[in-house]
Amino acid sequence: MMSAVDDKPTPSREGASSAFTLGPLVAGPPCCTPQTHISIKSVTLSYGRIPAIRDVSLDIYKGCITALIGPSGCGKTSLLSCLNRLTDLIPGCHVEGRIAIDGQDITTPDLDVQRLRRRVGMIFQKPSPFPLSIWRNLEMPLREHGVTRRDELEFRIEKALADVGLWAEVKDRLGSAALTLSGGQQQRLCIARALTLEPSTLLMDEPCSALDPLSSAVVEDLIQSLKGQYTVVIVTHNLAQARRIANYAAFFWVKERAGTLVEFDQCRTLFDQPRHELTAAYVKGLQG
Amino acid sequence: MSRTARDTCLLLGLSVAAIVASGILLLIILFLSTEAWPVFSQVGLLKFAFDEAWYPTEGAFDLKPMLVASFAMSMLSIMLAAPLGIASAVFCRFYAPPVVRRAYQWIIILLAGIPSVVLGLWGLTVIVPLILMLAPPGASLLAGSLVLALMIVPTVALTTQAALASIPQFYWVGAAALGLSREGTLLGVALPAVRSSIFAGIMLAMARALGETMAVLMVSGNVVQLPTSLFDPVRTLTANIALEMAYATGDHRSALFVSGLALTVLVFILAWVARRSGGQVVHA
C-alpha cells in the first residue's frame, strides 16, 4: 500500500491555499482543521420526474481528496456533474438544493458556467484528448480563456506537463497527434489540460478504470501528488484505490430508487470503523 | 437446401455481382483507351497540350483551353460552394431551431435532386441575363461556375453534416468541461476533428463539378479559348465532347476520346485523394 506520510506540503501558485498542509493519513483527528471548500446542501437531482439523487448534504474539504464510493447507479457521477454544472447539458435534468464553492452559490441560473468550469476541472473515465496535436490540446482551452501571450502559454503548458510527469516524455514531440499517446499518457494529458487553467478543484470520474494496471498506478500517484494543492473529488469503484489515496470518503447507496448519502467520514474511519451496516457490508465487498 | 449450399450460392451470387460491377469499369477504361489510341499513337501526348489551336478536322488538337476552362470552372465553383456548404451544415447542426433545421435539410436534399438540365435552363434564363447586364456576352465562365456551385453545395453540406454528426459525444462533454464556449468548441474541436472528412467531401464535389456537362454547356458559351476574365465564354472538356461527338469521325473522334480519358483520370485522382483523406481515423 502506498503511503502518504511523506507527502510534502506543495507550495501553491497563489496565496489562497498556501497555508494548507496535510498530515499523515491515519484514523484519528485530522492534522488541521478541515476547511470547507465545496458545500453541498440538500441536493436533489432528477432526470425528468425521476430523482437520481435525493437530499444529499456533504462538505468537501479544501486540498483534500474525497472519494465518492458506492454501487453503480447510486448517483455518484450525477453528483459530480452538479459541481461543474455539466448537468446543464442533459435535457430534463433538474437540480434542487444549494451548492456553494468558496461560499459562492453555483446553482443560480445567471452563473458564468465557463468561469466555473475553468475553476472546477473534470477528468473522465475515457481519456478524451481532442484529435489535435499535444500542444494544441493544451493551448486551445487557454486561448479560449483569454491567455494569448506566447511566453505565458509556454510557461503554463510546460508547467502543467511537468506537473503530470509528461514533460520529459513529450517535450520533443509536442506537435504530434495526442491520440498517438498511450492510454495512460492521454489521461495524464487530460489532467494537464485541466491544470493549465489553474483550477482550484478537480473532479475525477473513475479516471483509472479504463487504463491498464501500470498506467493506472502512474495516474494514481499523480492524483496523490495533487493533494494539498487542489481539492479533488474522485468517483471510483476501486475500493483499494479509494483507501490508498483519499482523505475522506462518502458512501452512497440506492434507497427508494434514488441515490442517497449513507456515510461520510475520514477515509480510514469509513473503511475500518464504519458506523453504518450498509457501509460495513460494502467495504468488505459483501454487497453492491 | 443445406446451410453450406446456401452459403455457396450466396457467395457465388455476390462474387458475380462484384466482378460484373468492377469489370464494367475496367471495360469502359479499356474502351476509352482503344478509341483514343489511334490519334495518340500518331500525334503523341505533347501535341494535346502544346498544339496551336483546336481544329480537330485539320489535325490541330490543342486541348489546353478546354482543360483550363474545366479546371477553372470547377475550382471557382468549389470556392463558392465549399464555404456555403460548410457554413450551412454548421448552422444546421448547431444554431438552427429544430423546425428550421428540418426544413433546411429538406431543401438541401431537394437541391441535390434537381436535374442538371433544369439548373441549366434556370441559369440560361436568370443567371446569364444578369451577367449580361454586367458584361457581355453573359454566357461565361462565371455563369458556369455559379450554376455548378449551386449544384455541388448539397454534396459539401451533406458530407459536412454527416461528419459533424459522427463526432463522439465525449468530445462535446470534454470541451464543455473545459469551459469552452460553443464557438470555441466548434472552431477548436469539432471542425478540426472532421477536417479530413470535410476535405473528402470537397474533393467529391469537385469531381462532380468536373464531370458535369449539360448545365455547363447551356450557360458557358462554348467558345474554345483560354479565358482571360470571368466574363469570357469558355468551353469545358465535357461540353466539347457533347457538342462534337455527333459528327466527329476519324482522328477527331479519337481526340474526343482522349479528352474523355483525361477527364476520367482526373476524376479518379480526385476520388482517390478524397478516399485517402476521408479514410483517416480521426477518433480513437
B231-279 pLDDT per residue, tens: 888 888 888 888 888 887 777 888 888 888 888 888 888 888 878 776 4
- For residue B170, the distance in angstroms to the closest alpha carbon of chain A comes to 7
Whether the per-residue pLDDT at B14 is higher than 90: the answer is yes
Among B174, B184, B282, the residue with its CB nearest the CB of A128 is B174
More reliable by pLDDT, A125 or A30: A125
CB contact under 8 A, B170 and A126: yes
pLDDT tens per residue, range B100-118: 888 988 898 898 888 889 9
| Partners of A121 in the β-ladder | A202
Average pLDDT over residues B131-155: 87
- Degrees to nearest 5, angle at CA B110 with B106 and B111: 115
Q: Is residue B16 scored above 90 in pLDDT?
A: yes
CA distances from B219 to B8, B79, B166, B240 (A): 53, 19, 38, 13
pLDDT mean over B199-218: 87
Distance, in angstroms, between B59 CA and closest chain A CA?
55
Predicted pLDDT of residue B21: 92
β-bridge mates for residue A68, sequence order: A235, A250
What pLDDT is recorded for position B248?
76
How far from the centroid of its chain's Cα atoms is residue B166's Cα? 24
CB contact under 8 A, A126 and B192: no
CA-to-CA distance for A152 and A138, rounded, in angstroms? 12
Tally A–B CB contacts below 8 A: 68
Confidence of residue A12 (pLDDT cuts 50, 70, 90): very low
Q: Which residues are CB-contacts of A259 (< 8 A; sequence separation ≥ 6)?
A: A52, A53, A54, A56, A70, A73, A74, A75, A76, A78, A79, A252, A253
Q: What is the pLDDT of residue A273?
A: 86
Any idea what DSSP says for residue A230?
Answer: B
Q: What's chain A's length in residues? A: 288
Question: Amino acid identity, residue A273?
Answer: Q
Q: With CB atoms and an 8 Å threshold, state whether B176 touches A89.
A: yes
pLDDT higher than threshold 70 for residue A115: yes
What average pLDDT does this structure show over B202-221?
A: 87
The DSSP output letter for A130 is: -
Q: Does B14 touch chain A (CB under 8 A)?
A: no
A14, A166, A194, B198 from A161: Cα distances, Å:
19, 5, 11, 32
Q: Which of residues 193-252 of B touch A (CB under 8 A)?
A: 193
Q: What is the pLDDT of residue A287?
A: 52
Please report where in the chains the cell 468549389 appears, as a residue: B78
Between A39-48, A222-231, B150-159, B246-255, the lowest mean confidence (pLDDT) is in B246-255
Contact A54, A12 (CB under 8 A): no
Tell me the domain boundaries of chain B: 3-44, 49-276
Residues A184-234 have pLDDT tens digits of 899 999 999 999 998 999 999 998 988 888 888 888 988 988 888 899 999
Q: Which value, in Å, is the radius of gyration of the alpha carbons in chain A?
A: 19
A117 touches chain B (CB under 8 A): yes
Distance (Å) from the alpha carbon of B95 to chain A's nearest alpha carbon: 15
Rg (CA), chain B: 23
| Number of C-beta neighbours around residue B216 at 10 A | 34
Q: What's the confidence (pLDDT) of residue B281? A: 41
Residue A96 confidence (pLDDT) above 80: yes
The amino acid at B212: E
DSSP B14-53: HHHHHHHHHHHHHHHHHHHHHHHHHHHHHH-HHHHHH-S-
Find, among B207, B243, B201, the residue nearest to B222 by Cα: B243
Q: In what order do the strands lie in the sheet with A93-101?
A: A104-105, A93-101, A36-47, A50-61, A258-266, A248-255, A65-69, A231-235, A201-205, A120-123
Q: State the number of CA atoms in the 13 A half-sphere of A23 facing the CB.
A: 10
In chain A, which among 120-159 make CB contacts under 8 A with chain B? 121-122, 124, 126, 128, 130-132, 136, 140-141, 144-145
Count Cβ atoms within 10 A of the Cβ of residue A182 and give its class: 0-12 exposed, 13-18 middle, 19 or more buried.
middle
pLDDT at A26 > cutoff 50:
no
Is a pLDDT exceeding 60 seen at residue A7? no
Which residues have C-beta within 8 Å of that of residue A47, sequence separation ≥ 6? A90, A92, A93, A94
Q: Which residue of B has its CA nearest to A146?
A: B180
For residues A250 and A234, give the distance between their C-alpha atoms in angstroms, rounded to a whole number: 10
pLDDT in tens, A163-177: 888 888 888 888 888
Name the average pLDDT for chain A: 83
pLDDT of A281 above 50: yes
Query: What does residue B280 show for φ and ψ, rounded to 5 degrees?
Result: -65, 135
Contacts of B280 in chain A (CB under 8 A): none
Residue A61 has pLDDT above 50, yes or no: yes
Residue B11 has what pLDDT?
93
CA distance A106 to A98: 8
Chain B CB contacts of A141 under 8 Å are 178-180, 188
pLDDT at B10 over 90: yes
pLDDT of residue A286: 54
- Which range, A110-124, B26-40, B47-61, has the best average confidence (pLDDT)? A110-124
User: Mean of the pLDDT values across residues B145-171?
Assistant: 90
> What's residue A15's pLDDT?
39
According to CATH, the topology of domain B49-276 is: MetI-like fold (1.10.3720)
| Beta strand segments in B54-115, E | 54-55, 60-61
Contact B179 A116 (CB under 8 A): yes
- The predicted pLDDT at position A18 comes to 40
Mutate to test the interface with A, among B94, B171, B178, B281 (most CBs of A within 10 A): B178
